[in-house]
Structure 1
Amino acid sequence: MTGWTDAPDADALDADTLDGDGYDPPAAPPGRVRTLIAAVRAPFLEERDRWVLWLPVGLSAGILVYFALPTEPPGWLGAALLPALGLFVVLSRRRWPGSGAALLPTVLLILVAGFAAAQVRTWSVAAPVLAHETRAARVEGRVVGIDRLEEGLRVTLADVTVGRLPVAETPARVRLRLKKGDVAPAAGARIGLLAVLRPPPDAPEPGAYDFRRHAYFLRLGAVGFALSAAEPLPAPPPDGWAAVQAGLERLRQGIAERVEARLDGAAGAVATALLNGEPTAIPESDLEAMRVSGLQHLLSISGLHIGLVAGLVFFTLRALLALVEPLALRRPIKKWAAVAALAAALGYTVLVGAPVPTVRSALMTGLMLLAVLVDRSPFSLRVVAFAATVVLLWQPEALLGPSFQMSFGAVIALVSAYEAAGPTLRDWHAQAGPVRRTLLYVGGLALTSLVAGTATTPFGLYHFQQGANYGLLANLLAVPVTSFWVMPWGLLVYCLMPFGLDGWAVEAMGMGVQAILWTAHAVAGLPGAVLHVPAAPAAALLLFVIGGVWLALWRRSWRFLGLVPMGLAVALAAMAARPDLRVTSSGKLVGIRAADGSLLVSTGRAARFEAEVWWRRDGGTDAPPRWPKAGSADGRLACDPLVCRYRLNGVTAAIVMKPEGLADACTGADLVITRLRALGCDGPRVIDSAALRERGAHAVFIGPDGRIEIRTGRPRPLARPWS
């Protein structure tokens, strides 16, 4: 680590920029404190040009604070703190120039900006959420989204009316699965149908993916299924932005229909996903093969796809313009090609629906192309920081999802690796012949896959509890096919589709898609292709990210201090406890921990999705088995027709199977679990229908000393807008 005498002169710092804040604190106290401050201050000043890279990190911290709060903060909090801190920063810089007095307020200002962005976003999307299930209600609404599923269709409706439900309680949007065989309605049209609606489902267990929160930010207040065919209703056509959205949705559906006419099954579904951003029709077996093989990123329109679209347009147009001698000699054809590539990247982003990875890629690609226009280097972590800042301020809730985390994790790692290895690789490439350049391409592809795969693995393990062991092999085979065959044909499909000449290009694109699917299934079928791990606590992921960001954003030796929190994260994940008892929010499914650590469930028919999530979060690979009618063989669970009793560490938990067993369970158990309303139950702890309805899914931990800890999906009901 660099000593104090090696530090640059602090007086030379630019006090008018964030990158050089004139940080020159007062003289440190003598002795060890001075030595410690000097040891930290020196590398900090040496890397002042990297300070700006921490802007999105500070915003992320503020956003995390907002979402971690147990109750919703006052609506004025962020709006009041932001200008107050901003004014304090300005006054501090003027009152004490060069003293570094504004550094801490600046950091706090960035944190509050993230907090305020999340608060404003939450307020801006607020909409009613259905309180209770409707049996059979007349639902009318305007079609704003159509998803083609493996079997059937799903529509999203806006401007909704639901039976006799008051307007103030009617969701802004609902998502319905149409009856099998129903024809897709036109985007923008108003339809009516009979349907069953439910509130967006809770997380299957505390700490699992929270679809209810995700739905809130989509303004999706109910989900359900149709009981009758959708019928068109007379209504004026949408106008303004709604008309633009309807036009884009019709364009996406038109692309899907053209592909469907030429390609069947999984190949058609994957080609459609690459052309219009709609992956919902891909069969589950093929999706699983893509996940297990490490190729799922090819289905998410992100950096690879945006980069290929922009690159293909850039190099093709530049090559064509270079054939025209007057233009090549007298005009900036490189910059013309960059403008065309930028337009293509933005058009592709809009066409596929602008998900977070696509927006991130479009922003980065756009900045890189702008760098070409002004003759600057396009590869920089500042470009990544800018893209992250825009996404965080635009959609702060994206920070909590795997898409944002894996997308930015991969690109930060790749750009950092390029910064370190770029000069050497450029020298090798400049001196290489054709054969060596081919080997360098293969090596570069392998290195890219290795770096990106390593960076995204912690997020995959946290969110999905699995990782691809042969991802490098799969990507070496599939990425060149995507780059040199599938995406070029896809661009040609776009060009030919307006003239009705796209059929043969779609079929050619399908050949490449078939090769990708074959690779996915072949790699997924190899022994030990996938790593399954139990779910890790959120604190472990946070520690790992802190260490990883520290390692990636700094350049000097102190960056390796980031390995410390990363190591702590691994240890914390390995020591994480698993629940001894689980209950779904509906109460239809109960899970217990057997003596051998396995999971047993009360039924194999109800709540199958939740059961699969439990099993996966336990590190399993299949659906959990049902416990025997008499109880478990290890003696922990004993059942009669009315009640099952689970005993562990001196604690007895009664799982009431029938109403007649409730009275007995309430008097002789430490914990009572029932989907009934346990009025008058004398048990010390009760999980009944009221608790499940208010607090969602429950997870119970029984300590070695018999202490019972209960965690719930909604620790404080109605404390946050999405709860």
Structure 2
Amino acid sequence: MASSAASARSTGFRLLQIAGGWRPGEALERWLEAERGQLVLWIPVLIGAGIAAWFALPDANRWAAVMLGGLAVAAAGLAVGGSGRAARCVTVAAALVAIGCALVWWRAERVAAPVLARPAIVAFQGKVERIEAMPARELVRVRIAPEAGSGLPGRVRVNLDAADVPAGLTRGAVVKLRARLMPPAPPAVPGAYDFERVAWFDRLGATGRGFAPVEIVTPGEAKSGLRERLTVHVQSQVEGSAGGIAAALATGDRGAISEADSEALRRSGLAHLLSVSGLHVTAVVGATMLLVLRLLALSPALALRWPLPVVAAGAAGMAAVGYTLLTGAEVPTVRSCIAALMVLAAMMLGREAITLRLVAFGALVVLLLWPEALMGPSFQMSFAAVTAIVALYESKRVRGWFERREEGWAPRLGRGVASLLLTGLLVEIALTPIALFHFHKSGLYGALANIVAIPLTTFIVMPLEAAALFFDLIGLGAPFWWATEQALRLLLWIAHAAASAPGALAMLPAMPGGAYALMVAGGLWIALWRTPVRVAGVVPAVAGAIWALATPMPDLLVTGDGRHLALRMPGGEMALLRDRAGDYVRDMMAENGGVDAELPALDGQDGARCSPDLCLIDVERDGRRWRIAAARSGYLVPWREMIAVCRSVDIVVAERRLPPGCTPKWLKLDRTMLVKTGGVAITFGTRPEVRTVRRAGARHPWIGAETVMPARD
């Protein structure tokens, strides 16, 4: 009996040992062994985590803590790890996080350059570095390096009216002009576009508006660059926004697309077609390979003696590099070019071409060269879409659904449509959190619109445009340009139809960074692992989504200069303090307020009492009444009256400094306070919350950067 019991215990012991349920370390080792082919995919993710930590944390002490902590964990892993894979993974992961944080810190210090101290109207002379025509806005954007001794930053960017641009203005010219310049602007309100950060990494110290006359002191290059000439040629053949899209596909220049059409493309989920990325590079590579292969195969001698697929792949690689340079070498294009070259190299070597390792390598190259790109929507959306597609089609089950088989044309067509629909749906799921975080809105019909728009662009528009450019060499491109224009107008019609459909847009004004990080982490966990443990990624993804949806919308938005205020009314709409606010302010306030409508004026709302200089309004939230006072003009209100108003309200907002005796019951937002906080978003309720653009203790290089100011004339 005893031996029988012992035997049973021994059998159970062995079963537990085999199952690994009683020794977590062994179970972890077996799991990592099963996933060993996927571990390399986490290299760019961990470097990106270090980069994100640098942007998220406020000062050098915390950045140093991340790096030293990572190195300490790596050292501990080396000391106690032995031969286990888990310890090695921890060591490498911690070191990569530290490397990512150090990399972006080094990059931020390396690009350091002075910025303009305050707005000023200046006359200066400088060398033109870049010219960007924007026909849809009747502007030309010029980047200029002012001459030494001007007292200006090293690079400034000015917008000129198209009519004021002198003939013969080309890159390399030295020009003399007057302009109203201002420092790069921080986000106007929490969650808005951070141009100040982008300008820092672009070494741009001031932006503004130039005035006529613009004098060319020294001529520049005899001709504009190939990109500029090609853009002008394309836009001369196809008018309007259709020509702008054609130019965007050929050279990456989107300046001729009207704002209405750009907004329709964004709302319909088709804006990715304007950013030269994987879709466009793939079309160029595929077309080049097909053309070169067919032409070389016409010669029996070459077909018998040369490896034509290898030659065609080499030609396609050169075409991909040339197309990337022609279109401005933006992050999505560079990533797509790297990926294309990797695919072509794999084809030459007889290896599987399109894999997640290829995507990871492309991301790693971009992060090593431009670590700040991680924070931009272009990088995030580009890699999210490609990762989702490749991960989907690496699944054996999905490939089994859609692989080629002997069947009639109807099932084959249905299978192809289903494949496109599934791909489009997955891409929309992957991109929606990114779009909501950065732009506060996302199109809901993108999957359906892309089913038509992607094949239309890839197999009709781009081949027609390429044929038109080719036949222009002998003066016979007109029929192809006409066909290209009709196809592009169809694309715009699809965009407007999808954008204007009921419920076409999802709005989410305030997404906490933590909620976004959870969704990204969950998505990566699902995409990059292969064993059933990947399902665990659903937990953080869903938790992040619930957190984001549960976050209340802001009730009050105040811009960093104190001039503009948007208040949520009882019906949910936002009303603007100044009815003469510009289009940019209106759009920005609407997006960050979660409103897809024109914002009405505050003085026309119930409960608002407004004079030309001051507005008083009462709002009620969760049983509490809030009274807000806001200055509407630059004229001074009599001192005693202002003191009395301040004491009777909960919040006072003004673009100028208010007297010390102005003491509202809850919050005073005048120039003195807003200089410290930047723009402000306030949520009323039982537990009021205030979010600011400037976080206490933030010390990123672009905050409090070295400033310069030209001498007063």
TM-score, length-normalised on structure 1?
0.86
* Greater displacement, 193-202 / 132-141: 132-141
> How far apart in 2 are the matches of 1:137 and 1:72?
38
Task: Give the C-alpha shift of residue 562 in structure 1.
Answer: 0.8
Residue 103 of structure 1 corresponds to which residue in structure 2? 89
**2:33 corresponds to which letter in structure 1?**
L
Residue 644 of structure 1 corresponds to which residue in structure 2? 616
Residue 18 of structure 1 corresponds to which residue in structure 2? none
**1:173 corresponds to which letter in structure 2?**
R
What pairs up with 1:362-377 in 2 under 5 angstroms? Answer: 362-377=337-352
Task: Give the C-alpha shift of residue 172 in structure 1.
Answer: 2.4
Q: Give the direction of change, closer, same or farther, for the CA distance of 1:130–1:624 in structure 2 (3 Å limit).
A: same
Q: Give the direction of change, closer, same or farther, for the CA distance of 1:590–1:524 in structure 2 (3 Å limit).
A: closer
Q: Give the direction of change, closer, same or farther, for the CA distance of 1:571–1:80 in structure 2 (3 Å limit).
A: closer
3-state SS of the aligned residue for 1:383? Answer: helix
3-state SS of the aligned residue for 1:294? Answer: coil
* Correspondent of 2:174 among 190, 194, 206: 190
Residue 227 of structure 1 corresponds to which residue in structure 2? 211
> How far apart in 1 are the matches of 2:322 and 2:232?
20
Task: Give the C-alpha shift of residue 650 in structure 1.
Answer: 5.4
Q: Give the direction of change, closer, same or farther, for the CA distance of 1:653–1:514 in structure 2 (3 Å limit).
A: closer
3-state SS of the aligned residue for 1:192? Answer: strand
What pairs up with 1:254-265 in 2 under 5 angstroms? Answer: 254-265=229-240
* Correspondent of 1:382 among 332, 337, 357: 357
> How far apart in 2 are the matches of 1:689 and 1:4?
72
* Greater displacement, 520-529 / 84-93: 84-93
8 Å CA contact 1:78, 1:116 repeated in 2: no
Task: Give the C-alpha shift of residue 363 in structure 1.
Answer: 1.0
3-state SS of the aligned residue for 2:437? Answer: helix
Residue 184 of structure 2 corresponds to which residue in structure 1? 200
Task: Give the C-alpha shift of residue 673 in structure 1.
Answer: 1.5
Q: Give the direction of change, closer, same or farther, for the CA distance of 1:136–1:99 in structure 2 (3 Å limit).
A: closer
1:230-259, Cα deviation, whole Å (9 max, x unpaired): 22112786xxxxxxxx98x62111012212
Task: Give the C-alpha shift of residue 519 in structure 1.
Answer: 2.1
3-state SS of the aligned residue for 1:48? Answer: coil
Residue 42 of structure 2 corresponds to which residue in structure 1? 54
Q: Give the direction of change, closer, same or farther, for the CA distance of 1:579–1:294 in structure 2 (3 Å limit).
A: closer
* Greater displacement, 601-610 / 45-54: 601-610
Q: Give the direction of change, closer, same or farther, for the CA distance of 1:343–1:136 in structure 2 (3 Å limit).
A: same
Q: Give the direction of change, closer, same or farther, for the CA distance of 1:394–1:9 in structure 2 (3 Å limit).
A: farther
* Correspondent of 1:688 among 667, 670, 675: 670
3-state SS of the aligned residue for 1:349? Answer: helix
* Correspondent of 2:196 among 209, 212, 222: 212
1:59-117, Cα deviation, whole Å (9 max, x unpaired): 111011100111245998899889x6799489649x93447544322111100111111
Residue 522 of structure 1 corresponds to which residue in structure 2? 497
> How far apart in 1 are the matches of 2:698 and 2:582?
24
8 Å CA contact 2:254, 2:274 repeated in 1: yes
* Correspondent of 1:146 among 132, 150, 173: 132
8 Å CA contact 2:185, 2:196 repeated in 1: yes
* Correspondent of 1:43 among 19, 28, 31: 31
8 Å CA contact 2:53, 2:101 repeated in 1: yes
**1:719 corresponds to which letter in structure 2?**
R
> How far apart in 2 are the matches of 1:222 and 1:618?
28
Task: Give the C-alpha shift of residue 585 in structure 1.
Answer: 1.7
3-state SS of the aligned residue for 1:230? Answer: strand
Task: Give the C-alpha shift of residue 225 in structure 1.
Answer: 0.9
1:645-679, Cα deviation, whole Å (9 max, x unpaired): 54553554432445224322343444331111124
1:436-474, Cα deviation, whole Å (9 max, x unpaired): 544443333333222222221221222223332322332
* Correspondent of 1:330 among 305, 308, 324: 305
3-state SS of the aligned residue for 1:229? Answer: strand
Q: Give the direction of change, closer, same or farther, for the CA distance of 1:653–1:515 in structure 2 (3 Å limit).
A: closer
Q: Give the direction of change, closer, same or farther, for the CA distance of 1:425–1:316 in structure 2 (3 Å limit).
A: farther
> How far apart in 2 are the matches of 1:306 and 1:250?
21
Task: Give the C-alpha shift of residue 717 in structure 1.
Answer: 7.7
What pairs up with 1:610-625 in 2 under 5 angstroms? Answer: 610-625=585-600
* Correspondent of 1:513 among 488, 513, 516: 488
Q: Give the direction of change, closer, same or farther, for the CA distance of 1:86–1:124 in structure 2 (3 Å limit).
A: farther
3-state SS of the aligned residue for 1:155? Answer: strand
**1:215 corresponds to which letter in structure 2?**
A
Identity %: 35
> How far apart in 2 are the matches of 1:60 and 1:224?
33
8 Å CA contact 1:4, 1:41 repeated in 2: no
* Greater displacement, 616-625 / 50-59: 616-625
> How far apart in 2 are the matches of 1:4 and 1:322?
67
Q: Give the direction of change, closer, same or farther, for the CA distance of 1:433–1:229 in structure 2 (3 Å limit).
A: farther
* Greater displacement, 47-56 / 437-446: 437-446
* Correspondent of 2:651 among 671, 674, 678: 671
Structure 1 position 699 matched with structure 2 position 681 = yes
**1:57 corresponds to which letter in structure 2?**
V
Residue 662 of structure 1 corresponds to which residue in structure 2? 642
Q: Give the direction of change, closer, same or farther, for the CA distance of 1:80–1:469 in structure 2 (3 Å limit).
A: closer
* Correspondent of 1:157 among 138, 143, 146: 143
3-state SS of the aligned residue for 1:215? Answer: helix
3-state SS of the aligned residue for 2:205? Answer: strand
**1:69 corresponds to which letter in structure 2?**
L
What pairs up with 1:333-352 in 2 under 5 angstroms? Answer: 333-352=308-327
* Correspondent of 2:104 among 98, 118, 134: 118
What pairs up with 1:485-634 in 2 under 5 angstroms? Answer: 485-495=460-470, 502=477, 504-628=479-603, 632-633=605-606
> How far apart in 1 are the matches of 2:657 and 2:92?
53
Task: Give the C-alpha shift of residue 386 in structure 1.
Answer: 0.6
* Greater displacement, 651-660 / 266-275: 651-660
> How far apart in 1 are the matches of 2:13 and 2:248?
55
> How far apart in 2 are the matches of 1:566 and 1:4?
37
Larger relative contact order (Cα-Cα within 8 Å, sequence gap ≥ 6): 2
> How far apart in 1 are the matches of 2:58 and 2:247?
42
Structure 1 position 172 matched with structure 2 position 140 = no
> How far apart in 1 are the matches of 2:656 and 2:402?
72
**1:672 corresponds to which letter in structure 2?**
V
3-state SS of the aligned residue for 1:65? Answer: helix
Q: Give the direction of change, closer, same or farther, for the CA distance of 1:511–1:677 in structure 2 (3 Å limit).
A: same
Task: Give the C-alpha shift of residue 269 in structure 1.
Answer: 1.1
Structure 1 position 69 matched with structure 2 position 50 = no
Q: Give the direction of change, closer, same or farther, for the CA distance of 1:561–1:645 in structure 2 (3 Å limit).
A: same
> How far apart in 2 are the matches of 1:9 and 1:45?
15
Gaps of 5+ in 2: 1-11, 704-713
Number of aligned residues: 679
> How far apart in 2 are the matches of 1:171 and 1:339?
44
8 Å CA contact 2:127, 2:172 repeated in 1: no
8 Å CA contact 1:293, 1:529 repeated in 2: yes
> How far apart in 1 are the matches of 2:309 and 2:26?
48
Task: Give the C-alpha shift of residue 609 in structure 1.
Answer: 1.8
Residue 243 of structure 2 corresponds to which residue in structure 1? 268
3-state SS of the aligned residue for 2:129? Answer: strand
* Correspondent of 2:270 among 283, 292, 295: 295
Gaps of 5+ in 1: 11-27, 238-245
8 Å CA contact 1:277, 1:353 repeated in 2: yes
RMSD: 3.2
1:260-286, Cα deviation, whole Å (9 max, x unpaired): 322211111111111110112201111
8 Å CA contact 2:554, 2:593 repeated in 1: no
8 Å CA contact 1:78, 1:119 repeated in 2: no
Residue 278 of structure 1 corresponds to which residue in structure 2? 253
